[in-house]
Amino acid sequence: MCGIVGYVGKKKASPILINGLLKLEYRGYDSAGIATIENGNIFCIKNKGRVKELQNSKDIDKLNSTIGISHTRWATHGKPSSANAHPHLDCHKNFAVVHNGIIENYIELKNFLINAGYSFSSETDTEVIPNLIDYYYSIDKESGPDKFVNAVHKAILDLKGSYAIAVLSKYEPDTIIVARKDSPLVIGINNDEKFIASDIPAILDYTNNIFILDDGDLVKITQNNLTFYNKNLEKIDKKSKIITWDAKSSDKGNFEHYMLKEIYEQPTAIRETIGTRIVPNKKCDFSDINISKSYLSEISRIYIVACGTAMHAGVCVKPIFEKLTNIPVEVDIASEFRYREPLIDSHTLIICISQSGETADTIAALKNAKANGSKTIAISNVIGSSITREADYTLYTHAGPEIAVASTKAYTSQITLLTLLAIHFAEVLDLPKTEIIDSLKNELLEIPSKANIILENVDAIKDFAKKICKETDIFFIGRGLDYAAAMEASLKLKEISYIHSDSYQSGELKHGPIALIEEDVTVIGIITDRRLLDKSTSNLQEVISRGAKTLIITNQDVDKKAFPYIYNIPKIHPFLSPILSIIPLQLLAYYVAKEKGLDVDKPRNLAKSVTVE
């Protein structure tokens, strides 16, 4: 997705902007650009391709200004090209704008502006914004200090859709104005320096003192001042937050890729997620949300709503919630949930999971549910993210920044936190579940050391990755929660290795998918449930007898003679098994992609957070 970085201070802006854009590369993009004010005029450099090319462009050294805005673009309206890259200037070159989001009524606005004498040089929706600002600036007969702010405010009132924008003006060369609606934006401060970013890691090298903007906020930023306005252009107060992530936590460290680093961070991330919630001989500590027994007793259904990996975490915890709370649970894909008119009222509880907290579909689903009278809980990894400001209650995973597009530590942390939440609900409801609750608590505490055992045993996975990296189709199968983990394993493999893969419930194979099994097709089975061991191994025998090669991830006693490749993981409570069984499969996806020489952290066509529909 697109990224925004801005700076106003006393240092040369361009290296700070480029450094910030490099930190946002993980979000996925196809072009990059920068605008500063040099000798009273806006100077803009942009290109299709990587930030490195922007950094190496011959004109970059000519930028000496201490103010600037910059952007990485992920094409929505118009192909990746230098003309479509941001920043965009109005046709009179008075204003420059970088924009994340989508302007839905841009055609109408463009026609209006063309009739008013404006011309356009890109295919983007964004280009209407600087031209609208110029239009309102030019028709304002006042010449007071608020003229720039007024013009931006009038322009955004005309916009339909989503936006985070940063605007430079040659009329006020020491000011940047920013505004947001349905797209994230933060401002960092460090004495007389101000930093703007769509994502906190872009500016963590300089400050962790951050203002998180709300929808409707508009801010006038100079080296020494921040003036906050609400959507009616009334001045408002805002408090900054100290973000505990440090710059190092968003670096690759000694790892070749962020994904590998984040896979290895899972023991720590899970420990941090558990934090102080498990208290010896006491109920779990969820004093941060304070959900009452009388409220929970009235809940007739829980919906868990999310996208991608976060949705897969929901699938893993559905049986845990049902077992511990006796409340039926449905797991929905957010983009479907928001349009399918689910039965929602004050007796339903919606739990939305989003690592980034910025996924447009998940936020929309949460807002719909709220509007229909349901209470909402957001599970997120990003402090102050949009979803956390919409939800009635928020719980953070505390997994640390997840930079790789392929989500890993967020998934295992989400399952951990949701399991704790299910335990908490059972404890609030005073249900007679002490035995299973005690066992889950003990086993959760053991997960970090068990995960480390897997992380120290990667040679077999690397070997298997070499064997399968030239495949075109790979199947993952399992039953129950092993199927839930298979879904996630399949997503992981396809998104970074570009190998087509699918996941099936083992018992479903005979109902169709087995038609695809032929000589040398790879089938990966997960078996962690003792009750289903025989049935699951029979299903694998069936594919072997049709020529398939198999890998089994298991903590059960699987017959070594019958199955050539078995990867053993530590024993764990069946409810928690996906937290461990996914780790070798995350590693497998990683090593297959690496074997194929692919850009693991920046898979094609994908973005870290999907902030548009």
Residue 141, SS3 per DSSP: coil
Sign of CA dihedral 534, 538, 541, 543: negative
CB of 45 to ligand M6R, least distance (A): 31
Q: Which 275-314 residues touch ligand M6R, going by CB under 6 A?
A: 307-310
Note whether 266 binds ligand M6R by CB under 6 A: no
Measure Cα distances from 256 to 56, 239, 409, 463 in Å.
Answer: 23, 38, 17, 19
Q: Which 432-491 residues touch ligand M6R, going by CB under 6 A?
A: 491
User: How far is Cα 201 from Cα 23, in angstroms, rounded to an integer?
Assistant: 7
Of 393, 409, 321, 410, the closest CA to residue 352 belongs to: 393
Of the pair 167, 486, the CB lying nearest ligand M6R is at 486
CB of 404 to ligand M6R, least distance (A): 8
CB of 488 to ligand M6R, least distance (A): 8
User: How far is Cα 154 from Cα 95, in angstroms, rounded to an integer?
Assistant: 15
User: How far is Cα 225 from Cα 243, in angstroms, rounded to an integer?
Assistant: 21
CB of 20 to ligand M6R, least distance (A): 20
User: How far is Cα 156 from Cα 179, in angstroms, rounded to an integer?
Assistant: 8
Residue 554, SS3 per DSSP: strand
Of the pair 307, 588, the CB lying nearest ligand M6R is at 307
CB of 495 to ligand M6R, least distance (A): 6
Q: Which 368-407 residues touch ligand M6R, going by CB under 6 A?
A: 405-407
Unique residue bearing structure tokens 């490195």: 52
Q: SS3 breakdown of the chain: % helix, strand, coil, rounded to 5?
A: 40, 20, 40
Of the pair 491, 543, the CB lying nearest ligand M6R is at 491
Supply the DSSP symbol for 103. Answer: B
Among 94, 207, 208, 355, binds ligand M6R (CB under 6 A): 355
Of the pair 308, 478, the CB lying nearest ligand M6R is at 308
Q: Are 18 and 51 in contact (CB under 8 A)?
A: yes
Of the pair 72, 354, the CB lying nearest ligand M6R is at 354
Q: Which 582-601 residues touch ligand M6R, going by CB under 6 A?
A: none
Stretch that binds ligand M6R, among 44-52, 173-181, 202-210, 355-363 (CB under 6 A): 355-363
| Other CB atoms within 10 Å distance of the CB of residue 456 | 8
Stretch that binds ligand M6R, among 116-124, 356-364, 421-429, 583-591 (CB under 6 A): 356-364
Of 349, 356, 426, 429, the closest CA to residue 393 belongs to: 349
Q: Are 219 and 226 in contact (CB under 8 A)?
A: yes
Note whether 267 binds ligand M6R by CB under 6 A: no
Unique residue bearing structure tokens 């930190």: 23
Among 31, 84, 124, 359, binds ligand M6R (CB under 6 A): 359
Of the pair 134, 272, the CB lying nearest ligand M6R is at 272
Q: What are phi and psi of 587, to 5 degrees?
A: -65, -40
2 is catalytic: yes
Note whether 356 binds ligand M6R by CB under 6 A: yes
Of 380, 384, 411, 409, the closest CA to residue 397 belongs to: 380
Of the pair 379, 440, the CB lying nearest ligand M6R is at 379
CB of 466 to ligand M6R, least distance (A): 23
Note whether 495 binds ligand M6R by CB under 6 A: yes
Q: Are 271 and 448 in contact (CB under 8 A)?
A: yes
CB of 519 to ligand M6R, least distance (A): 31
Per CB under 6 A, residues contacting ligand M6R are 307-310, 354-356, 359, 362, 405-407, 491, 495, 606, 609-610
What is the set of active-site residues? Answer: 2, 608
